Amino acid sequence: TTYNVGVLIGSLSKDSINRRLFTALARLAPSADLRLAEVPIRDLPMYNRDLDSALPEEVTAFKAAIEASDAVILITPEYNRSIPGALKNALDWASRPWGSNSLAGKPSAVIGTSIGAIGTAVAQQHLRSILSFLNSPELSQPEAYIQTVPGLITDEGEVTNESTAEFLLNWLKAVHTHADKVALAAAA
Ligand code: FNR
């Protein structure tokens, strides 16, 4: 089965290295029988529970896009050893209003890139803790900490380092297997 995967990109920067990683993953995805589509977070208002009773249009569209996806990939930068506020804000919206958590039961996988050698590891741990609370079954292994070096991913999304390309494709295949397992368990 080809799965449709919604992708949250944690950076709002137009020349984000995490957005660049998204282009690489989207290009590799068909070889793992996945179709990747961004679920944009940039136009979401700041979460405020006063808005829960009349959700802004951007929020409704955001939640519907997650719910329509077979699985979700979260690509996170690391900001001050955690996830960016914009991504936390998006996850807070995904979780609300109470009783309509869009991520409940939705298979998820986390990945991220930074220039630093530990490649978003600390931010990803924070993200896993949030996803766990939101009852989203996460891909545990392989973990994916990608260190960006100049030229790693071309403007067209091609990964220039053979072993990194192979690693990313295998990671995407693991996302597919994970989505399969969650779907099977749900049907049982
Ligand atoms: C950073 N950066 C960073 N990198 C890291 O590895 N660990 C960290 O804790 C931080 N902290 C941090 C805080 C803030 C506010 C900024 C703006 C940046 C550097 C970060 O990895 C780098 O800017 C990446 O390019 C951010 O990802 P995007 O936006 O390019 O996808």
What is the identity of the amino acid at 105?
G
* Residue entry with tokens 């690391």: 78
Tokens of 43: 């136009």
**Predicted local confidence at residue 60, as pLDDT:** 98
What residues does ligand 1 touch, defined as CB less than 6 Å away? 11, 13, 16-18, 77-81, 114-116
Atom 2, ligand 1: residue with shortest CA distance: 79
Tens-place pLDDT, residues 80-113 = 999 999 999 999 999 999 999 999 999 999 999 9
CA pair distance 95, 25, nearest whole angstrom:
26
Question: Which residue, judged by its Cα, is nearest atom 1 of ligand 1?
Answer: 79
Rounded distance from Cα 128 to ligand 1 centre (Å): 18
The model's confidence at residue 117, banded by pLDDT at 50, 70 and 90, is confident
C-alpha distances in Å from residue 48, one per residue of 55, 109, 130, 144: 10, 27, 18, 32
Rg (alpha carbons) of the chain, rounded to whole number: 16
18 CA closest ligand 1 atom index? 31
Angle (nearest 5°) at CA 64 between 61 and 68: 140
Q: Which two tokens stand for residue 147?
A: 């260190």
Query: From the alpha carbon of 118, which atom of ligand 1 is closest?
Result: 6
Give nearest CA residue, ligand 1 atom 27.
Answer: 77
Ligand 1 centroid – CA 88 distance (Å): 15
Whether ipTM tops 0.95, in short, is yes
| Per-residue confidence (pLDDT) for residue 23, from 0 to 100 | 98
Mutational pocket test of ligand 1: of 78, 145, 153, the residue with most ligand atoms within 8 Å of the beta carbon: 78
pLDDT in tens, 20-63: 999 999 999 999 999 999 999 999 999 999 999 999 999 999 99
Q: Which atom of ligand 1 is nearest to the CA of 115?
A: 21
Q: pLDDT by residue (tens digit) across 132-186?
A: 999 999 999 999 999 999 999 999 999 999 999 999 999 999 999 999 999 999 9
Report pTM. 0.97
